[in-house]
Structures are given as C-alpha cells and as structure tokens.
C-alpha cells in the first residue's frame, strides 16, 4: 500500500530540529517578557469574516491564499493566515482593551502560497501586539525588542531593518488618489494584477514584481509627499528615537506591506542569507483596525517573527562546526608565549570550555580567519602593543559588540561570568 504523505508545504519538524526551535523560542520569549508582554492563545480557525474585514478583501492573502471551507453548519470558516486579526477579535470579545495591553502569541498560520525554501503553507509565527498606546515610543519599543532578539540569537549581522510610514488614514487616502492619477495614463502597460488593483487596492501595485510596472513606478509620487503635519511629526519622532538608540535602518518609501490595516509605521527585517524569502520579521502600526472590527478607535502596533525563516538563519549559525569556545590569536613570538600562559589560566577558570591557541606563525588576518572558522564565540587578540600595554583584546566573533581591551584579571572575571551564566 502506498504510504500517505503530508500536505505540500506543511512540514514535520523532526526530533533533530526541535531542540533548535525550542532554543530560539525560549530566547525570543525571554526578550518578550523583558518588555512586559503577556501571552494570549486563540483558536486556529475563525469565521472567514474576521480575516476579510481586517486584512482586506483585495489582498493576496484573502483573495488567493486562505484555507476557507464551509463547516457542517454551512458557516464559512478559515484557518488563520496570521495572528493580528484573531488577536483583535479575541481582545474585543473578551473585553481586554479597556486598558493598554501588551500581548504575544505563537503558533501555526496557514497560507496557500507556492511552497519554496522559506515559504510554506503551514508556517509558525511568534507575534506581538501592543494596544491602546498612540505614541511612536511604542513603535520604537517594538523595533528595539526585535533588535534585541537578533542580538540574543547572534543574528544581528545578517538582518537589516527597512522602514517606512504610510501616514494617517487620511494621508494614505490622499496618496491613493495621487497614485491612481499618476498611473491611469499607463493603465494599458501595467501587468494584469496591477490593472485590477488600480481601482481596488492601488497601493499594492507598488509591490508588483513586473519589470514594466516597476519601470513606470520609478516616477510615481512618494507617500511622504502626502503626509499631513501630524503624520510627519509622528515619523520624525520615530526616526529620532531609532537614531538615539543607534538602530541602523533603511527608509524605503515604497514599502506598503501586504495587509490593508496599516497606518503610520511599517517595517520589515530582511536578510540576504535565505534567497527570495528574506523577510524574517515584519509589522507596523494599525490604529484603524480595532474600530473596523466594531469597537471604539484604539491605537495599536505589532509585528510577527516568521519562525521557519528565523530557524533557518539560526541553523546556519549553529552549523559552524564548533571546535573552540575561545580562540587565541597571537602575532610575534613573545605574544605567542604569553598566549600559552594565558590559555592555561583560562583552562583553570573555565574547565569545560575548549580554549584553542593558534598553533603556527601567521598574519593577524589569517589567524582571525581560522578563529572564525573554529566556531568560537570569542577571539582573544595579542600582539606587541597589547603586551606592552598589558591589555588583552577580547572580540566577539558572533555579535557586533565593541571589542574590549582588558587586563588579564578583568578578562578572566568577564569570561567567568559568561561561563557561569551570570552574563548572557
């Protein structure tokens, strides 16, 4: 008899993979907790209307990707394609939005997309939603939280933040008009989907992959030309906050995102390391959604991590065959001799770590390459300067922390704290 197979694009997560998933989930949950978010759980199936009304009727998700079916009572139900709509529905039904709320959730989502690496029909998200707070401080907080997650996972050097503001609902409406006026004369040259969207959902045309449409869009008006004063102020404050926290970002004035509920901030964390499916976390502000779902206007902002993509990235990192915890790089004979003494002291202080000294002569660059390949978390760097200043340079090989020059005792204390888990 033929063996039954799983549904295309819906994956088993095997025992060899689950430890990595759990590790990533734990790290993210710990960061989320640091910011005071509380967990909420809601069903995997909702009335189809929940998603239609929130995500928007004329979006890829609702038009083409939802798993929708009639149940035995003849009601139209859908597997959730994302968490925000269900979260808002649950909060309203349970009366949770009388006070500001910071909530998080995790679990499977379902979209009937064409499967490829990083894009599946069942995938998992960890999502966050903050309700009742209208200041850009909260948008910045969510960006800071996500940046902290990358740092804790050691992924901050492989993801980049792209950000934009769609302005208020009115600004967005003005932009819609400006875009339609600009595109109408080119209607016949646009791809088929974009022609249809010209009347139904023109902002989505900006996301078209069609080269002719993209060419036409080059001269199109920009959303920031349509901001009103309040939208501009909101955006300026957010950017100022991100700058103050030294968050690196790229502004992309064409970023609109595939769900209709956004106003003001939209953002995506993207990576080059996964091929075409490079967005690993995305979100934004959606001040109009709660009202659209039938309650009083309530500001809101949130985002979701795509766990399959995040775990793929994390796996790349863990796949480095770790042959050392610390790698000592020493240039010159005196430095090499001292490195050996230091390595012995470190082995005393950190007995279960593997402390590897570069075994031959070699340029600083060649030794650093070996250090990186060893999978070590840290390189200790010693040269003539370091010897004469009695300072040792400690460099993180996996995180973009500043390298530090420490005395021998400071170095041993610092590493001992990491070793005993006092510092993470």
**Between 279 and 416, CB nearer to ligand HAM:** 279
84 is a contact residue toward ligand HAM (CB under 6 A): yes
Q: How many CA atoms lie within 13 A of 193 on its CB side?
A: 15
111 is a contact residue toward ligand HAM (CB under 6 A): yes
Which one of 66, 78, 90, 127 is in contact with ligand HAM (CB under 6 A)? 127
306 is a contact residue toward ligand HAM (CB under 6 A): yes
Closest to 205 in 3D by CA, of 223, 179, 225, 229: 179
The residue number whose beta carbon is nearest to ligand HAM equals 306
User: Residue 72 class from Cβ within 10 Å (0-12 exposed, 13-18 middle, 19+ buried)?
Assistant: exposed
Which one of 309, 358, 379, 412 is in contact with ligand HAM (CB under 6 A)? 309
**Between 45 and 343, CB nearer to ligand HAM:** 45
Q: How many CB atoms lie within 10 A of CB 203?
A: 19
Please tell me the distance from the alpha carbon of residue 377 to that of residue 44, in angstroms, as a whole number: 40
Closest to 28 in 3D by CA, of 122, 97, 108, 128: 128
Residue whose pair of structure tokens reads 């995040």 in the numeric block: 310
Contact 87, 105 (CB under 8 A): yes
**Between 114 and 244, CB nearer to ligand HAM:** 114
299 is a contact residue toward ligand HAM (CB under 6 A): no
Contact 258, 81 (CB under 8 A): no
83 is a contact residue toward ligand HAM (CB under 6 A): yes
The residues pairing with 69 across neighbouring beta strands, listed in sequence order, are: 77
φ and ψ at 277, to 5 degrees?
-95, 75
**Between 300 and 376, CB nearer to ligand HAM:** 300
User: Quick one: which H or E segment has residue 163?
Assistant: strand 160-165
Closest to 161 in 3D by CA, of 31, 263, 265: 265
Q: Select the span of 10-18, 77-85, 143-151, 244-252 touching ligand HAM (CB under 6 A).
A: 77-85
The residues pairing with 281 across neighbouring beta strands, listed in sequence order, are: 269, 305
Which one of 159, 190, 304, 346 is in contact with ligand HAM (CB under 6 A)? 304
125 is a contact residue toward ligand HAM (CB under 6 A): yes
**Between 54 and 357, CB nearer to ligand HAM:** 54
Q: How far is the CB of 57 from ligand HAM (least distance, A)?
A: 16
Q: How far is the CB of 109 from ligand HAM (least distance, A)?
A: 7
Q: How far is the CB of 143 from ligand HAM (least distance, A)?
A: 12
Residues 260-279 that bind ligand HAM (CB under 6 A): 279
Closest to 65 in 3D by CA, of 108, 110, 112: 112
Contact 109, 44 (CB under 8 A): no
Contact 61, 81 (CB under 8 A): yes
Q: How far is the CB of 288 from ligand HAM (least distance, A)?
A: 12
288 is a contact residue toward ligand HAM (CB under 6 A): no
126 is a contact residue toward ligand HAM (CB under 6 A): no
The residues pairing with 330 across neighbouring beta strands, listed in sequence order, are: 382
**Residues touching ligand HAM: how many (CB under 6 A)?**
26
Q: How far is the CB of 125 from ligand HAM (least distance, A)?
A: 5
What is the Cα 331 distance to its own chain's centre? 39
Q: Select the span of 78-86, 220-228, 348-356, 406-414 touching ligand HAM (CB under 6 A).
A: 78-86
Q: Select the span of 72-80, 122-130, 173-181, 324-332 touching ligand HAM (CB under 6 A).
A: 122-130
Contact 288, 131 (CB under 8 A): no
Residues making contact with ligand HAM (CB under 6 A):
82-84, 111, 113, 119-120, 123, 125, 127, 129, 258-259, 279-284, 286, 302-304, 306, 308-309
């Amino acid at each position: 008899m033929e063996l039954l197979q799983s549904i295309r694009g819906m994956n088993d997560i095997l025992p060899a993979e689950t430890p990595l998933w759990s590790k990533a989930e734990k790290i993210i949950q710990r960061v989320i907790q640091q910011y005071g978010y509380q967990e909420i759980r809601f069903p995997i199936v909702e009335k189809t209307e929940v998603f239609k009304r929130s995500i928007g009727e004329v979006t890829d998700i609702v038009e083409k990707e939802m798993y929708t079916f009639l149940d035995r009572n003849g009601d139209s139900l859908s597997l959730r394609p994302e968490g925000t709509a269900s979260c808002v529905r649950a909060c309203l039904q349970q009366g949770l939005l009388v006070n500001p709320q910071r909530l998080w959730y995790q679990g499977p989502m379902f979209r009937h997309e064409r499967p490829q690496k990083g894009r599946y029909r069942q995938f998992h998200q960890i999502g966050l939603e903050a309700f009742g707070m209208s200041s850009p401080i909260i948008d910045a907080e969510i960006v800071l939280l996500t940046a902290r997650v990358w740092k804790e996972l050691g992924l901050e050097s492989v993801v980049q933040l792209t950000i934009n503001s769609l302005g208020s609902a009115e600004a967005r409406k003005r932009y819609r008009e400006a875009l339609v006026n600009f595109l109408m004369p080119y209607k016949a040259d646009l791809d088929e989907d974009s022609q249809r969207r010209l009347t139904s959902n023109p902002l989505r045309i900006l996301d078209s992959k069609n080269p002719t449409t993209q060419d036409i869009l080059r001269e199109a008006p920009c959303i920031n030309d349509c901001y009103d004063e309040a939208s501009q102020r909101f955006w300026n404050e957010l950017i100022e906050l991100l700058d103050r926290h030294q968050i690196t970002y790229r502004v992309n004035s064409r970023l609109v995102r595939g769900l209709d509920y956004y106003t003001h901030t939209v953002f995506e964390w993207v990576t080059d390391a996964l091929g075409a499916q490079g967005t690993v976390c995305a979100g934004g502000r959606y001040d109009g959604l709660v009202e659209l779902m039938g309650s009083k206007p309530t500001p809101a902002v949130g985002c979701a991590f795509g766990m399959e993509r995040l775990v793929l990235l994390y796996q790349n990192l863990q796949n480095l065959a770790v042959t050392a915890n610390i790698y000592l790089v020493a240039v010159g004979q005196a430095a090499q001799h001292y490195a050996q003494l230091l390595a012995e002291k470190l082995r005393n202080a950190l007995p279960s770590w593997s402390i590897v000294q570069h075994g031959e002569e070699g340029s600083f660059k060649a030794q650093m390459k070996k250090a990186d390949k060893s999978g070590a978390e840290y390189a200790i760097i010693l040269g003539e300067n370091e010897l004469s200043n009695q300072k040792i340079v400690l460099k993180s090989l996996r995180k973009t922390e500043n390298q530090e020059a420490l005395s021998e005792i400071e170095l041993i204390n610092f590493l001992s704290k990491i070793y005993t888990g006092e510092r993470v």
